[in-house]
Amino acid sequence: ISHDIPAAFRVGQQIAMLYRGRIIAKGTPEELKTIDNPYVQQFIQGSSEGPIDITEY
């Protein structure tokens, strides 16, 4: 488990992303970089804007 996306992408062969206790995406780092999932893209990009409400955390 990591929030360090660059490190996880460097060492991981398969990555899974959890959101609210559920796996919402999994694949290779390259697959996750191009996946059409706004939650994954917001998290990978470190953006405060998107479907994940960062104020609830």
Residues 51, 43: Cα–Cα separation, whole Å = 10
Chain segment 8-34, per-residue pLDDT in tens: 999 999 999 999 999 999 999 999 999
What pLDDT, on the 0 to 100 scale, is given for residue 55? 84
Domain range list for the chain: 5-46
Number of Cβ atoms within 10 Å of the Cβ of 45: 12
**Which pair of tokens denotes residue 53?**
């409400």
Q: Is 49 exposed, middle or buried (0-12, 13-18, 19+ CB in 10 A)?
A: exposed
Q: Work out the percent of the chain whose per-residue pLDDT is above 90.
A: 86
What pLDDT, on the 0 to 100 scale, is given for residue 1? 86
What pLDDT, on the 0 to 100 scale, is given for residue 21? 94
Residues 19, 11: Cα–Cα separation, whole Å = 21
pLDDT of 35 strictly over 70: yes
pLDDT of 57 strictly over 80: no
